[in-house]
Amino acid sequence: MTLLLQSKDSPRGVPLTDTEVSWMAAVAYLTCIPGNFLMAFFGDTFGRKVTLIFISATGAASWILLLSSMEVWSLILARALVGINMSGCYVTCPIYTKEISDDSIRGALGCLIILFHTTGNLFLYIAGDFLSYRTILWVCLAIPTFHLILFMMMPETPSYLVKRGKTAAAMRVLAWLRCKKEDDITIKNELDVIKKEQEKDKEANHFLIKGIVKDKILFKAFHIAMMVTLAREVCGAVPVLNFAAEIFSLASNNSSILLSPNQQAMVLGAVQVTGSMLASLVVDKVGRKVLLSVTSLISGLSMCTLASWFVARDYGANTPNWVPVMTLCLCIFCDSCGLQPISVVIAGEIFSFKHRGTVMAVTMSTASLADFLQLLFFKPLTNSIGIHVAFYFFGIICLLMALYVVIVIPETKGRSLEHIYRTIYNRKRIVNESSN
């Protein structure tokens, strides 16, 4: 809607300025930073289910505000509320999914957040081409409202119920989730695993961040979670999506390829959906490590190729018009297929109930800050140092991430937390012995 809101046909009567649009784009990531900690606190205090209902209510409030007023302050405030919505989706949703999932399918279910995210993008790109401004707002309001009503019938997670001492309720929920009877031995065993996990948490330091830093294994796991999160945000996908129109425009010079801005967005949206769909299908078959390392490698090579294309073009070389289109789509595909979903899945899998919310809040706040800074400074920096430098930087980050995944990150597919920590401990011990 940016082009419409900045045009002479703007539904508010007066076109928005570049500064107003920039703040609308960036403010959601700014409110994400405190929002991540707020969602983690809500999730641990009031429960995952209540927090998810609150998230939907916040989303509905955002669209109601946009329907009620066209003032600049209301447009920016509505976007700020979207930041709270984003925080909940990327902090609470992965936690809820992990805590209700069977180990054999938790990877596929964890990837669904990215699939629905990208599907939502594509849906709105298409809707934006066919529907009016206010019609789109009504459609968007219907979605969180429907979720709010529907989720009232969903259960609280077994882990949270055990934390609250509601063991019988936790057993009923587990039996319902697994489609088994309450007296089934597998249900009792799974409940025992949850109890043991939380008993170990009680023995740990009550100040969570301090406890993580002091515990060598937890700190190593935190380091892994932070690295995969930062790599996801600094792989180039965020600025690439914002710079896509200009790259497509450059690629279409002197060729028959000419797409409108909405059509460009649809192409990228379709690529994103395809990638996230593939991730959901294969993550529990090939594993997290393979998918993350391969997509990081391909994304890095595509970014470096795109940077080289810009350098060659600046020196007057004969550069094929299809190269930036291909590399751009490849980068977005790898981001939605590996870097985005797998980083979220891994961060949720390598921590116990007690630490899960805090770690997700810290990592997502870091990601939000990185996105905010990229959106604010990408254009000025590329104008001063050259866009090829930026893409070489993104490419090198992705290549280093591929190496980091191979050397450091353990496979978490179908493994219990105890097994994952044992792998981290053994790898850390081997590294220490080799260094001595």
Mean residue pLDDT of the chain comes to 83
Q: Provide the pLDDT for residue 427.
A: 64
Taking the C-alpha atoms of residue 97 and residue 150, their distance in angstroms, rounded to an integer, is 16
Give the Cα separation of 376 and 95 in Å (integer).
30
pLDDT score of 319 more than 60: yes
Cα torsion 316, 321, 324, 326: sign:
negative
Supply the Cα-derived Rg of the chain in whole angstroms: 23
Q: Which of 14-23, 307-316, 353-362 has the highest mean pLDDT?
A: 307-316
Locate all alpha helices (DSSP H) within 287-339, ordered by sequence.
Answer: 288-314, 322-334
Q: How many CA atoms lie within 13 A of 282 on its CB side?
A: 15
- Which tokens hold the place of 61? 């409030």
User: How far apart are alpha carbons 268 and 148 in whole angstroms?
Assistant: 29
Structure letter (DSSP) for residue 12: T
Tens digit of pLDDT for each residue in 253-277? 555 555 666 676 778 788 888 888 8
Model pLDDT, residue 244: 65
**Domain range annotation of the chain:** 2-154+206-435, 159-203
Residue 205 has pLDDT above 70, yes or no: no
> What token pair was written down for 194?
């949850």
**H/E segment holding residue 99:** helix 72-100
How high is the pLDDT of residue 399?
94
Lowest-confidence segment of 190-204, 242-256, 392-406 by average pLDDT: 242-256
Q: Residue 322: is it exposed, middle or buried by C-beta count within 10 angstroms (0-12/13-18/19+)?
A: exposed
pLDDT at 207 over 60: no
Q: Is the model's pLDDT at 156 over the cut of 90?
A: yes
Reported as a single tens digit per residue, the pLDDT across 72-95 is 889 999 999 998 998 888 889 888
pLDDT, tens digit (0-9, with 9 covering 90-100), for 381-435: 777 888 888 889 999 999 999 999 999 888 888 787 888 888 887 765 544 544 4
Q: What are phi and psi of 105, to 5 degrees?
A: -125, 5
CATH code, residues 2-154+206-435: 1.20.1250.20
pTM for the structure as a whole = 0.74
Report the alpha-carbon angle 280-247-238, nearest 5.
45
Percent of the chain with pLDDT strictly greater than 90: 23
Task: Say what angle helices 72-100 and 106-130 make with each other, to 10 degrees.
Answer: 150
